[in-house]
Every structure is written in C-alpha cells, then in structure tokens.
C-alpha cells in the first residue's frame, strides 16, 4: 500500500509567471477588443454619441484600431500556446532530473532510467549498458522489450561491441541518432560524467504510435546523457561505501566478541 | 469538466510526479495498483476522475475497470485510461469496459488537460 503522497515538486517559477503575464495581457486585449466593438457599434448607430463624441474619431480609425487589437489577441494567443508547450517540456525535464537523483541504490537508478525511457521518451525496446569498473566492456544491466529475437547483440549479460552507433557513442561520448547501416539502434545515448563515459542507453524501438524522435526528445536524451551518469555514479559510490561500512561493523563486532 | 478530486493510478513514481506538475491546483490522490485504487475510492467518495494506467502489478487497469463495473461503478466517476503500449485494442477494451477516454504515453500536460476538458463537453447537457 502506498501510504505517502509523493512530494509535489515546484515548477520552474519564471515560466509560470510568464504564463500568468500572458494570460493577463490576453485578458486585457480581449477587453479592449470588446470595448472597441461596442464603441464602433454605438458610433454606427448614433453618430456623435458615446466616447466618440468626447474624442471624435473617424470610423476608419476605429476599424484600424479594432483590427490591430485583434491581431494583438491572435499573437498573444499563439505566444500563450507556445509558452505552455515550453512549460510542459521543462516540467518533463525537471521531473526526469528529480527522479534520477532520488535514489541511492544503483538498481533503483537503473529502474528510474527505464521509467523515463518508457514513459517520457516512448521507448518500447531498449538496453542500458554500463562499463565494468576498470574495463572497456559493458555489462547489460537492464533491457526492455523483445531483445533476444530483435536485437541479439544486447541479449546477453555483456555487450561485446559490433553496433557502429553504440560503439561510436561509447568511444567519444557523442549522442548518435539512427538509423544507420549495420546498427539496430535508433539512438545511442552515452552516459557521461565529466569526461568519463560510464555506459550508454541504447534505444532500439519506439512505441508503435510514436513515429520518430523529435526535438523535445533530443533535450531529454541530452539530459539523460548527463544526469543518468552522475546519478549512477553517486549511487555506486554510496553502495561501495555502504558495503565497506558493513564490513567494518562486522569486524568490530567480531573483535568485541574476542 | 473541472474535477473536484482526481485519483492517479500508476505503478510508476515518475508518472505520479508528472501528474503532480501537470495537474497543479487540482486535488490529486495516488495509488500504485488497482487494489490501492479501490481503497482510495472507498476513502474518498468525492473522487470524480480516475487516470488509470493499464499495465500494473496485482490488479491491472482492466481488472479495476471490471471491478468498478461489478460494483455498479461510482456515480459521476469518469475514468481516463492511460496505455503505454499504444495499441488500439487496449484503448478499445478500456472504453468498452467503461472508460470515458484514453491517452497514450508519452503525453504532454496539455493533452491530459484537454482530455479532461473534453470529458466536460461530453457530459454537458
């Protein structure tokens, strides 16, 4: 049973304020359009009546002002949609980062990476490779989807190389997008911490309803490249320290018995 | 539709955090599987919208929908099925079992909000 309600992370404050400002501006522009429409209607019905009498204005001027106000409303609406879209994108990235750094157990970090790949990226088949300490070969620590039949290179316990996209990403730490001849990967995301490449996320297939990786996905892949590696590094360090601590505690207990 | 209380049912912590930020300002409860969802629904009879993942351990989304149907459902409760597979048959099966709409992962906040708003239109007189 889930007793706790997950903590609600705050959204980036600058963007929320911008959305609010745009909403206000949109509201004001709508009011202006409504006001101008009323003025125009009154002027047409009763020449010389209403505000037009106090500040005489030709019908052409009012019509121009009305058109300009309508254009403003249209532009502001477009900007509001763009900003909300941008806000959604930033929220996804924020939640992904938050989630990656929430765990100190390497296995849980692997699961968080898989969660992001499935739920935010829309990956149906993928493999997570991690370099063995002190070596160049990569351990396959997590796979998802039909790997054995569709991508046998990633089916065992160790990735032995051979996929040009993945080998390239592991060699120079640069994100590579497929398709490429000889490779079954759609994307090879190097997991980098400083200049060290600790592994790669290999995306092999997207969900059926997702045709291709888009620009927003590229942002997410870049985020994974940087943050997944540091989260894994921190979790591995913690696990190693934890093991040492337990060993020392055991030794102390043994020594006290003697 | 402006829901008064939403129940998000998903076994992914990430998705719960996503719902938190996507539906800011809406009272939101969380459950990790169908069994927990039934508990939440019993504890909070004012829940009027469920965002229901299909693939979950213990009791999955379809089983929960069936259970809700067997119990005569909750009056005024709308269910939006959330599928990962993106398979048409999952969505059709969910709709046939009583869901009002469906979403396929991955989705943006605006898509969830639009789906909720459309529920209002379909329930309007």
Q: Is residue A4 very low, low, confident or very high in pLDDT (cuts 50, 70, 90)?
A: very low
pLDDT at site B74: 63
Neighbours of B117 (CB within 10 A): 11
Give mean pLDDT, residues A211-231. Answer: 89
Residues of A in contact with B85 (CB under 8 A): 207-208
- Give the pairing type, strands A158-159 and B78-83: unpaired
Please spell the DSSP secondary structure of A152-177, one letter per residue: GGGSSSEE----HHHHHHHHH---EE
Contact present, A146 and A152 (Cβ < 8 Å): no
In the predicted structure, residue A23 carries a pLDDT above the cut 80:
no
Q: Which distant-in-sequence residues (6+ apart) come within 8 Å of A111 by Cβ? A: A142
Nearest-Cα residue of chain A relative to residue B105: A119
Query: Which of A1, A2, A6 is nearest residue B17 as measured by Cβ atoms?
Result: A6
pTM: 0.74
Question: Distance (Å, rounded) from C-alpha A159 to C-alpha A153?
Answer: 7
Q: Which residues on chain A are in Cβ contact (under 8 Å) with B105?
A: 118-119, 122, 207
SS3 A77: helix
Q: What is the pLDDT of residues A108-133, one digit of tens each?
A: 999 999 999 998 999 999 999 998 87
CA distances from residue B19 to A77, A239, B16, B96, B113 in whole angstroms, order as listed: 25, 31, 5, 25, 11
Work out the average pLDDT over A37-52. 65
Least Cα distance to B66 among B52, B87, B84, B48 occurs for B52
Cross-strand partners of B6: B28, B49
DSSP secondary structure string for all residues of A130-148: EEPTTSS-EEEEEEESSHH
The 10 Å Cβ neighbour count of residue B35 is 17
Domains and CATH numbers, chain B: 6-122 (3.40.50.2300)
The C-alpha atoms of residue B77 and residue B109 are separated, in whole angstroms, by 21
pLDDT in tens, B11-56: 999 999 999 989 988 999 999 999 999 999 999 988 999 999 988 8
What lies within 8 Å, CB to CB, of A20 at 6+ separation is none
Residues of A in contact with B29 (CB under 8 A): 5
Q: How far apart, in Å, are the Cα atoms of A192 and each of A78, A201, B32? A: 38, 11, 32
Cα A203 from Cα A128, distance rounded (Å): 9
B66 touches chain A (CB under 8 A): no
Q: Which of A72-76, A145-149, B16-20, B74-78 bottoms out in mean pLDDT, i.e. has the lowest?
A: B74-78
CB atoms within 10 A of CB A66: 17
- Look at residue A32 in the predicted model and tell me its pLDDT: 75
Query: b vs e for B9-31, b when ≥16 Cβ sit within 10 Å of the residue's Cβ?
Result: bbbbbbbbbbbbbbbeebebbbb
d(CA A162, CA B28): 48
- Look at residue B16 and give its three-state secondary structure: helix
Task: Report chain A residues touching chain B, CB-CB < 8 A.
Answer: 1-2, 5-6, 8-9, 11, 84-85, 87-89, 91-92, 94-96, 98-99, 102, 112, 115-116, 118-122, 207-210
- State the pLDDT confidence band at B7, using cuts at 50, 70 and 90: very high
- Determine the pLDDT at residue A3: 42
d(CA B84, CA A31): 43
CA distance B90 to chain A (A): 13
Q: What angle do CA B105, A191, A221 make, to 5 degrees?
A: 35
pLDDT at position B8 is: 96
Contact yes or no for A210 and B30 at CB 8 A:
no
B87-125 pLDDT, tens per residue?
667 778 888 888 889 998 888 888 898 999 888 665 544
Taking only residues 82 to 111 of chain B, the set having a beta carbon closer than 8 angstroms to any beta carbon of chain A reads 84-87, 104-106, 108-110
């Amino acid at each position: 049973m889930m007793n706790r309600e997950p903590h609600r992370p705050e959204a980036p404050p600058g963007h929320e304020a911008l959305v609010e400002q745009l909403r206000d501006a949109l509201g004001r522009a709508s009011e202006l359009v409504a006001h101008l429409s009323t003025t125009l209607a009154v002027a047409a019905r009763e020449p010389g009546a209403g505000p037009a009498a106090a500040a005489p204005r030709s019908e052409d001027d009012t019509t121009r002002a009305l058109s300009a106000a309508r254009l403003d409303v249209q532009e502001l609406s477009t900007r509001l949609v763009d900003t909300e879209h941008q806000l959604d994108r930033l929220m996804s990235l924020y939640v992904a980062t938050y989630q990656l750094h929430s765990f100190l157990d390497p296995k849980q970090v692997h699961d968080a990476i898989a969660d992001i790949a499935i739920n935010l990226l829309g990956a149906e088949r993928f493999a997570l490779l991690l370099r063995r300490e002190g070596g160049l070969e990569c351990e396959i620590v997590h796979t998802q989807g039909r790997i054995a039949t569709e991508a046998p290179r990633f089916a065992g316990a160790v990735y032995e190389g051979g996929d040009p996209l993945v080998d390239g990403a592991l060699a120079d730490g640069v994100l590579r997008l497929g398709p490429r001849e000889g490779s079954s990967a759609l994307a090879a995301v190097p997991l980098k911490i400083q200049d060290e490449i600790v592994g790669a996320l290999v995306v092999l297939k997207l969900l059926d309803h997702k045709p291709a990786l888009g620009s927003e996905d590229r942002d997410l892949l870049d985020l994974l490249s940087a943050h997944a590696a540091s989260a894994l590094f921190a979790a591995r360090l913690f696990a190693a320290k934890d093991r040492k601590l337990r060993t020392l505690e055991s030794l102390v207990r043994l020594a006290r018995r003697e | 539709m402006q829901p008064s209380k939403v129940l998000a049912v998903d076994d992914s912590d990430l998705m719960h955090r996503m719902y938190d930020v996507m539906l800011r300002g809406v009272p939101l409860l969380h459950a990790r599987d169908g069994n927990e969802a039934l508990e939440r629904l019993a504890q909070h009879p004012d829940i009027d919208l469920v965002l229901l993942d299909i693939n979950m351990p213990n009791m999955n989304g379809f089983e929960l929908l069936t259970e809700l149907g067997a119990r005569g459902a909750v009056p005024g409760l709308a269910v939006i099925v959330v599928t990962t597979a993106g398979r048409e048959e999952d969505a059709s099966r969910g709709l046939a079992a009583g869901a009002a709409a469906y979403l396929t992962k991955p989705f943006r906040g605006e898509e969830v909000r639009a789906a909720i708003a459309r529920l209002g239109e379909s329930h309007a007189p």
